[in-house]
A and B are shown apart, each in its own frame.
Chain A
Amino acid sequence: MAKKLPDADGYVVRMKGITKAFPGVLALDGVDFQIKAGEVHALIGENGAGKSTLSKILTGVYTKDAGEIEVRGQSVEIQNPLDAQRLGIRIIHQEFNLISHMSIMENMFLETLGHKPWGLVSYLEMRKKAKEVLESLGLDVSPDRLVRELSVGEQQTVEIAAALSKDADVIIMDEPTAALTDAEVERLFEIINRLRSQGTAIVYISHKLEEIMAIADRATILRDGRLIATKPISELTRDQIVHMMVGRPLHNMYVRSRTPSQEVVLEVENLSVPGKVKEASIIARKGEVVGLTGLMGAGQHSLLRAIFGAEPGTTGTIRLRGREVTITSPWDAIRSGIGLLTENRKEEGLILPLSVMFNISLASMEKVTNMGIIDHKQERRQAVDYLEQLDIRTPSVDQQVEYLSGGNQQKVVLAKWLATEPEIILMSEPTRGIDVGAKAEVYRLIDELAAQGKVVVVVSSELPEVINLSDRIYVMHEGRIAAELDAAQTTQEEIGMYGTGGKYYEGN
């Protein structure tokens, strides 16, 4: 395949003065964005800053209202996704576009499969080409393997391979590490480095600033649809980036106004979930934030769900204030004063086609109903209260929740659980996929809840978050509690050591 050449200054894409308006809002306001061949260019901004609109214009999902796009020195109009693909621009989404019951190579060549006479397919040729591309990415698997047999990281590599096999030389990666383990992230970075050295341009969209500092060459920061800066990453510090994103310096992400008491509220003893959790015992005290962490799949998410009665086959004992309770369903858990904010808000947290108000009252319908009849005034009052208390930004409580940004959706889920007036709030990855400003608000809220005397148990895979947010931390390894650590004294290295099974914990 003949590599297409960048223009004289080394740019593959130049977007100038891109403007895009949606009803009532200017999503992009004269934004310039240039991508060089062989660079990793981070696109940074809060939710709604215009990153996704910009990448959708570049990939033909939206058309711009004004501005110019040049690809390799040629002025182009990108009207639809096919135009973008022909120009060698591809996007790899958080959710992959792979067909899980088909082989790797079939997925890679899906669109060109039927290009032989009579719809015949040359598997021989396909296998050879697939092998070449996969090898160039350092993935040593047979092209005949089914996609569903691959790990998430491998599937992502197949997506990249599919893009490359279609001559893509600009690849946009939207939150590529969201579902990857640490080891997989490292592998992804190796692949990105390889692509960079081969002259492929990568647009890297991520909320994770550590990753951006590690992998990007340049960064473009957007805020409120406007370009704030495009600079080499070496000239930027983390704090500067946050400042530019949020528009104000964000000094104290983590607040501590709480004072945990000694009173034990939640005792979990020898909780087991077949194949996931093995005899885990934890306790949580009044006014305390307990962190729960470990490698991907170490059982921390399952443990939380098991406490909430959402894991079938759970065995073990749960005590609340010393009294044993039987929890076999979320309904039981809610009646016992436990709430669970799940890690996937769209699948398990929200009813997307319903309004903000309905979603808020969903788990506590009895509070706004009387003999099965809904008290609309009461329901609306409750929703408006939470809108103000949590600063949920929505045109009205009647807005369908699917139209809200990730951070605001997360706050609606939080409001739903607060409305049940729980004593214990379990949170699974509460800041996943939300921007830095919303993160700070969630942290503040968690502290506030603990200060009110509630118990908060937080599962998070991000170690800095776990350490700064929690009072005590449990580390899990292969389904077992590997360590209980004091958050004020531990380090990322220590947690990592227990999490990888490097050292076993010997009790108190």
Chain B
Amino acid sequence: MKAIRQAGRPRQELFRRYGMLLVLVVMVFLASMLSDRFLTASNLLNVTRQVTINAILAAGMTIVIISGGIDLSIGSVVAISGALGAGLMATGAGWAAGVLVTLLVGLALGITNGLFIAYGQLPPFIVTLATMALARGFTQVYTGGRAITVTSQTFQWFGHGYVGSIPVPVIIMIIIYILGYFFFKRTKLGRLVYAVGGNEHACRMAGIRVNRVKVAIYGINGLLAGLVGVILTARLFSAQPTAGVAYEMDAIAAVILGGTSLSGGRGNIGGTIVGALIIGVLGNVFNLMDVSPFYQDVAKGLVILVAVLLDRLLHAGGGSLRRGVSSGADQAKSA
């Protein structure tokens, strides 16, 4: 009498999983009705390219949020890593050194966040809020408030190049998401991200070295911010002192829209790319319709609110349903 109940996924769960994909499809449909320029190859490529930066940051943020944390510093980390990389190249260093330093600065700051959070036992919100201010301030000091121009054409390729007809940033994004999928599906660390987010204390009691896991998580997130530092600097031909302001908010929004729970332990990276695309399509449609960017922010806020509300309602419904299923399983047990 092992399985009298089918392991069928409740309808809510199905919607939770694919609901946002449905929202995206509906948005694309509406967008193509509203503007005949939307469904052109050049515009779609444009949307995708605009999405890349947020999508890459959101991939890292997915890891952080599933582990039960948050990282507010990534926007500032994008700026400081880009500025230091560009500054190095301005002194005559080659493009490879520039890329490497940008990535390493991101990684180092991420690891620093992780060390304070794990070994200092401080809340991620506070630690990364401090890093956000520190890194932004340091960027302003370092750049003197002026942009640092990058002249290396090889470096610029990371923002402007194409492989075939596909922009390089889009390719990088696709690679990141393939790696991300593999990370969560197949790696031990990816599994431990869920475990730590689901119940940190139980992880410690199971002999998991939670502190190391946390340092790795924030390190990866910092590295991805460094990667965005490379792409953004290349895209703008320069490192801007105000680069990346509020990028963390868009990244968090994409993760939440993607159905990942802010309380940790649940979520998936496939949802995050959908969330990033929803935000991207929304912005693109407003651009095509010549709506002021200020209204775009209003609309974005509303979409996030509605999405989270929807999620909450489904979750609450799912909750009572779950209780039912749970007694169902109890029942199955004693049969």
- Give the B-binding residues of A (Cβ under 8 A): 22-27, 46-50, 52-53, 62, 223-225, 310, 329-331, 333-335, 340, 342, 347-354, 358, 362-363, 365, 369, 372-374, 376, 387, 393-396, 398-399, 402-405, 407-408, 416, 420, 435, 437
Contact: B330 with A48, CB < 8 Å? yes
Residues B199 and A350 in contact, CB atoms below 8 Å apart: yes
Q: Does B335 interact with chain A (Cβ within 8 Å)?
A: yes
Which residues, 178 to 235 on B, are CB-close (under 8 Å) to A? 186-189, 191-192, 194-195, 198-199, 201-209
Rounded to whole angstroms, the CA-CA distance of A219 and B78 in the bound complex is 67
Also in contact, A22 and B324, with CB within 8 A (given A49-B334, A395-B5, A399-B7) = yes
Q: Are A46 and B194 in contact (CB under 8 A)?
A: no
Number of chain B interface residues as a range: 35 or more
Question: In the assembly, what is the distance between CA of A203 and CA of B3, in Å?
Answer: 32
With A47-B330, A372-B188 already in contact, the answer to whether A330 and B7 are too (CB < 8 A) is: no
Q: Are B186 and A373 in contact (CB under 8 A)?
A: yes
Contact with A along B286-307 (1 / 0, CB 8 A): 0000000000000000000000
Q: How far is the CA of A52 from the CA of B188 in the complex (A)?
A: 38
A-B contacts, CB under 8 A, total: 160
Which of B188, B324, B331 has the most A CB atoms < 10 Å from its CB?
B331
Q: When A25-B332, A353-B265 are in contact, do A358 and B195 touch as well, CB less than 8 Å?
A: yes
Most chain A CB within 10 A, of B324, B332, B334, is at B334
From B1, B5, B199, contact of A24 by CB (8 A)? B5
B123, CB-defined interface residue at 8 Å: no
**B205 lies within 8 A of A342 (CB):** yes
* Chain B residues whose C-beta falls within 8 Å of the C-beta of A435 in the assembled complex: 334
Smallest CB-CB separation from A245: which chain B residue? B334
Given A22-B328, A23-B5, 6 additional A-B pairs, CB 8 A: A224-B334, A348-B201, A353-B194, A362-B202, A395-B329, A405-B334
Q: Is B312 interfacial (CB-CB < 8 Å)? A: no
Instruction: Give Cα distance in the complex from A350 to B205, angstroms.
Output: 10
Nearest B residue to A308 via CB reads B205
- Residues of chain B in range 1-28 having any CB-CB distance to chain A below 8 Å: 1-8, 10
Let me know if B146 is at the binding interface, CB within 8 A. no
Cβ A362 vs Cβ B206 within 8 A: yes
Q: B326 contacts the other chain (Cβ, under 8 Å)? A: yes
A49 proximity list for chain B (CB < 8 A):
334
Contact A393 to B1, CB < 8 A, known contacts A24-B328, A437-B334 = yes
Q: For B10, what are the chain A residues with a Cβ–Cβ distance below 8 Å?
A: 23
A388 and chain B: residue at smallest CB distance: B2
Query: Contact between A403 and B329 (Cβ–Cβ < 8 Å)?
Result: yes
Of B6, B186, B187, B322, the residue contacting A403 (CB under 8 A) is B322
Which residues of the other chain, B, contact A403 by a CB distance below 8 angstroms? Answer: 322, 325-326, 328-329
Distance (whole angstroms) from the CB of A185 to the closest CB of chain B:
26
User: Chain A nearest CB: distance from B251 CB in Å?
Assistant: 23
Q: Are A333 and B207 within 8 A (Cβ)?
A: yes
B37 within 8 A of A: no
User: B187, B198, B208, B326: which contacts A354 (Cβ < 8 A)?
Assistant: B198
Contact B329 A394 (CB under 8 A): yes
